[in-house]
Chains A and B, each alone.
Chain A
């Protein structure tokens, strides 16, 4: 019998950006009452979990250090323990997990751990990455703290918090967020309240969520980063002509091999020559990629392959010529040309 996969969402954001407030609000919603929460704090004494008003047996605080540094040991073990307790009936039969990272955590290793643990993969599926940004202090934080820019860059959703403390969002902050991550919708939280379904309700990586895919593909114009964000930028490459499956595979291999940690996220919808009616959805974090998933149909009449890159120091020109060269070589081999 197939086991229902439990979505795991990651809630991240810099110190004091309102993660716990939003988490508290979410847990008060009836539809989120069966949520297990893993909280990581960077410090000797955990406080955040004391602030969460929910069934205590579903909240676990990790205080051994920053989650991204000890992720393989602590996080995966914690998730295994949670699942064991659920199976034994020792805690509420939760139907989702939210991991709140420390404000200093790099989300990428956390996503790695979730994507590559063999045993967890049979039980869990990666959900949204939600990043909170303080509407008041966010711009200064983004300017000063590289990790905060990375937290924004990998997000599926960005939540602007503390809007009740400011009369409006500075255009420059919006611009900075769009530059770092044009594909992620920006949502607003007032007094920590937000429509939680928009945050954690849908599995972003579910290719059935066609509107979602359309969103992150449509929202990826070319951006010229400011000096401060020069190391992180996003761009989209598009190809009208279908791409052979083996060329796509080689392309992803080359990206993983040469870009490694600089490829923060890659999402794409690809017209694979061998499957023209059912596009492939690709998704990668650094050098870890999901096997392509196949949509039942194209989200629109547009059959163009589009790949959105959020990366650090990766040159668009190189990515473009790499794909062209690989496609041409595969076509040569297929045609029997030297």
Chain B
């Protein structure tokens, strides 16, 4: 399995905006960060080496952290898509297999 490259994350963010029908230019910067242009501007970058988090997200100068890509996606969408309401996964109680 390939390691997670910043290029793959860039592609994920680009495709995510398209999937959510959100306009925005996604750039990969020279210092290995992802920049989503517009208002507000969002910057996503790997967290510092000693951090317990994996990602740092900066929105209009305010920094947040994320432990994996899922909260990164959630935070980006919450910022850019005001009408967004996350559907939490529910695990069916009924069994898949008949006994």
A residues neighboring B (CB under 8 Å): 2, 4-5, 7, 114-118, 120-121, 124-126, 203, 205-208, 241, 250, 252-254, 256-261, 281, 283, 286-293, 314-315, 317-318, 321-322, 324-329, 331-333, 335, 337-338
Answer whether residue B95 sits at the interface, using C-beta atoms and an 8 A cutoff.
yes
* A–B complex contacts, Cβ < 8 Å, 14 sampled: A2-B99, A5-B95, A116-B90, A125-B98, A254-B70, A258-B16, A287-B87, A288-B92, A289-B92, A290-B95, A292-B96, A293-B96, A318-B16, A326-B70
Give the shortest distance, in Å, between B19 (CB) and chain A (any CB). 4
With contacts A287-B90, A328-B2 known, is A7 near B98, CB below 8 A? Answer: yes
With contacts A115-B93, A325-B8, A328-B3 known, is A257 near B98, CB below 8 A? Answer: no
Residues facing A in B11-58 (CB within 8 A) are 11-12, 15-16, 18-20, 46, 49, 54
How many residue pairs at the A-B interface have CB separations less than 8 Å?
A: 143
Is B96's CB under 8 angstroms from A321's CB?
no
Q: Identify 16 new A-B residue pairs, CB closer than 8 A, beyond the known A125-B94, A241-B1, A325-B11.
A: A5-B95, A115-B94, A125-B97, A206-B98, A256-B87, A258-B20, A289-B90, A289-B91, A290-B96, A315-B19, A318-B18, A322-B16, A328-B4, A328-B5, A332-B3, A338-B46
State the majority secondary structure of interface residues on B.
Answer: loop
Closest A residue by C-beta to B18: A315
Give the shortest distance, in Å, between B61 (CB) and chain A (any CB). 25
**Chain A hits for B87, CB < 8 A:** 256-261, 286-287
Answer whether residue B73 sits at the interface, using C-beta atoms and an 8 A cutoff.
yes
Measured CA separation A115–B92 after assembly (Å): 5
Answer whether residue B65 sits at the interface, using C-beta atoms and an 8 A cutoff.
no
Closest B residue by C-beta to A281: B96
Closest A residue by C-beta to B92: A115
- Which one, A203, A286, A326, contacts B98 given CB within 8 A? A203
Give the shortest distance, in Å, between A235 (CB) and chain B (any CB). 13
Is B89's CB under 8 angstroms from A114's CB?
no
Is A315's CB under 8 angstroms from B4's CB?
no
Measured CA separation A2–B68 after assembly (Å): 41
Answer whether residue B64 sits at the interface, using C-beta atoms and an 8 A cutoff.
no
Measured CA separation A318–B77 after assembly (Å): 14
**Chain B hits for A333, CB < 8 A:** 54, 68
Give the shortest distance, in Å, between A283 (CB) and chain B (any CB). 6
**Chain A hits for B96, CB < 8 A:** 205-207, 281, 283, 290-293
**Chain B hits for A207, CB < 8 A:** 96-97
